[in-house]
Amino acid sequence: MSGRPKPNPQHTPTPCSTNQISAEPPQRRTQGDLTRLGWMYYNHSLYFISTAEKNWTASRDYCLERDADLIVINSREEQEFVGRLRGDYWIGLSDGDPEGTWKWVDGTIMTSSSWGPRQPDDNHGGEDCVATLEGRGPVTGDLGGSWHDVPCAELLLWICEKVLVLDHLESDLNKEDVDCWVVNVDYVHCQWKPSASPDVNYTFYSRFDEGYDEDYDEDVSEVFSECARYVQNATHLGCDHPYEDLWMKRFSPYVTKLMLGNQSFPEQTHNLKAKVRLNAPFNLTVKIGPDSNLWWYWNQTHEHGCIESEVRHRTNGKNWETNELTTTSYCINLPRSKRYELQVRIRVKDACVESDWSDWCPPVFWGPTEETNGTESVLSSRARVL
């Protein structure tokens, strides 16, 4: 190689439980964000496009440390993809062992090429590694990215490639089924765990299959829509998708599918009618009523006839007593000089297709508590929330 130019490089109530269904997710990264961070998806592979420069060996080490390798260009589409990049990049091709035999880093012999004019030329000797050059295509006027042999010690940008085995990914996704449930009858939360490549960002689509409306003689099923809000943490990916009138929609089949680029994985159908997780009650308070009884009150995010409550209380730390009711208040008759402790949880009741119980609200206490006043121990009656 000779004469190479230098490269250009709303306010909501405070929940009682700390174990909420999902935390506020980070924003989903766009392709532009992924490009700036390094990895981008193209035609069944992930690519890291560097913004720093290293020699050929250090560039390859960087890729290997990330379970990838320097790019192996084995199709016209992949060459065109590289040719659209701005800059000069190391690729995974060299002839150092043995001299004159060009091999890819995966051990295969080069069988097709995109050499630039009069390349490879081993200019002045020792040009054993290959780079693509911006603006110098094999044919005049094309996109560029032609191959040039270069001394391996040169400092250039580089491209890592991680090939995705889609059959393996699909098998893992079939084993790691997408799981969905209705959160507080506000949105549908789905999550999945792609164990084969946990660093892959899938695109998630879903719809309610509401079937055929005989009254209007039309199919009223929804079309697939992409996830409204992606959720990501160290081990799981997920989606939160809000819907209107989930009290009724949850009775229709919920259909989901994952996509990776243009690869679509099998659709899955979910029955959500019993898979409802309500938020725990909040603002649990206690006071003596005008009837001299002990009254407990709480709030819940939905006031709906399908919600029932379960109250449990105990005195002086003894066994719990439980009661189910459909109100948001509870009475203990004529409280004595005892220490009362009470908690509440809620669920969708059986008549509306029973769901699991929510978490318990943190306990609220009422009754005598010991306080120290100088050297004396006195009793006081008051409510207290832990």
**Topology of domain 31-163, per CATH?**
Mannose-Binding Protein A; Chain A (3.10.100)
- Is 5's pLDDT higher than 60? no
At which residue do the structure tokens 């209007």 appear?
216
pLDDT at 194: 54
- Is 256's pLDDT higher than 70? yes
As a whole number, mean pLDDT of residues 27-31 equals 39
Three-class secondary structure of residue 226 per DSSP:
strand
Least confident of 23-37, 72-86, 249-263, 364-378: 23-37
d(CA 346, CA 307): 7
Query: Closest Cα partner for 317 from 285, 293, 286, 342?
Result: 342
Q: How many helices (H) and strands (E) does the chain have?
A: 5, 28
d(CA 105, CA 86): 23
Query: For the chain, what is the mean pLDDT?
Result: 76
Q: Tell me: the pLDDT tens digits for 56-84?
A: 999 999 999 888 899 999 888 888 888 88
pTM value > 0.85: no
Least confident of 13-17, 206-210, 329-333: 13-17
pLDDT at 75: 85
Q: Tell me: the pLDDT tens digits for 288-344?
A: 888 889 999 999 988 888 999 999 999 988 999 999 988 899 998 877 778 999 999
Query: Closest Cα partner for 239 from 173, 178, 176, 301?
Result: 178
CB 61 within 8 A of CB 55: no
Domain 166-276 in CATH: superfamily? Immunoglobulins (2.60.40.10)
Domains 31-163 and 166-276 are alike in CATH topology = no
Query: Closest Cα partner for 121 from 27, 292, 1?
Result: 1
Q: How confident is the model at residue 169 (pLDDT cuts 50, 70, 90)?
A: low
As a whole number, mean pLDDT of residues 99-106 equals 84
Where residue 263 falls (left for φ over 0; alpha for ψ -120 to 50; beta otherwise) is: beta
Q: Where are the domains of the chain?
A: 31-163, 166-276, 280-385
Query: Closest Cα partner for 183 from 22, 363, 4?
Result: 22
**Topology of domain 280-385, per CATH?**
Immunoglobulin-like (2.60.40)
**Rounded-to-5 percentages of helix, strand, coil across the chain:** 10, 40, 50
